[in-house]
Amino acid sequence: MTNTATNTATSASPIIATPISGALGAEVTGVDLSAPLDDAAYDAVRGALLDHCVLFFRDQDMTPPQQLAFAKRFGDIHFHPHVPGLPDIPEIMEILKTDKDARPFGVGWHTDQMFLAEPAMGTMLYAKEVPDAGGDTLFTNLHRAYDALSDGMKRMIAGLRTVNLADAGRKIAGANPGGGQYGGFNSMALNKRDDVAAETEHPLVRTHPETGRKALFIGLHTERFATMTTAESKPLLDYLVDHATKPEFTCRFRWREGSVAFWDNRCVLHNAIDDYRGKRRRMHRITLKGDRPV
């Protein structure tokens, strides 16, 4: 990953991606996401995403159809199996927390829909209402986390596969007792399904399909290693998650109304910080279809 600003000219103005930390993340200027992206703008944004893993855009003003059009430029839309979308535009999922909710949606280090055979490739999150302080999101670079492992650890984990499931609520402090990962959200309508305990296997070390870089592929949805018990798996899983989320691999984004984050779920974990009790936060999220990790 480069740590230099990325400049690409479009018909209007240059698109500039300026890193916000040494590990990952860049703030992008020179693009209006409400307007269709020409080929040069698309190439610039996609290239910056591969370079920086997560991109941030400020002061955007999009209608839901405009947000959807921007997302479709980068791939087919993925529908969350447990959370319905907006009535008029089901491709957009509204993430809402009010003073009636015990915790926000998305707490805990995770990559989106890791419990599926083909997890989401990318996520686009658009801030509609934010608290005056709090509600930041943390991101971590799983490429850098893998690269920093010792050669011995890399050899040991090379062939391991993980078992992942949706209902990971017991791993989150303050989760609704008995409600699991998708319980305790009074302000969001959730699909009641019986498959939250369905298990999916993935390689622990994933190769990015576009860059060829290796990354740890692990998060709160990871239950255990295949062929091992949960108790046997826990020490190494805990170590790897703690390692992957060290401060030197992370960045932190403070939301403002009109901000957009676009991240690559194939190499990034994110974590919504629960520090704004009694305040309101409303976001519009779109996820893009991904492929089977290898």
Catalytic machinery residues: 110, 112, 270, 285
Asked if 207 and 198 count as a contact pair (C-beta separation under 8 A), the reply is no
Q: Which residues pair with 162 in a beta bridge?
A: 202, 225
Using CB atoms within 10 A of its CB, is residue 194 exposed (0-12), middle (13-18) or buried (19+)?
exposed
- C-alpha dihedral (156, 160, 164, 169), degrees to nearest 10: -20
Helices (H), the chain: 39-52, 64-72, 142-147, 151-157, 230-244
Burial 74-106 (b: 16+ CB within 10 A, else e): beebbebbbbebeeebebbbbbbbeeebebbbb
Please calculate the CA angle 184-271-281 and round it to the nearest 5 degrees: 60
Using CB atoms within 10 A of its CB, is residue 14 exposed (0-12), middle (13-18) or buried (19+)?
middle
Location of structure tokens 């290693």: 225
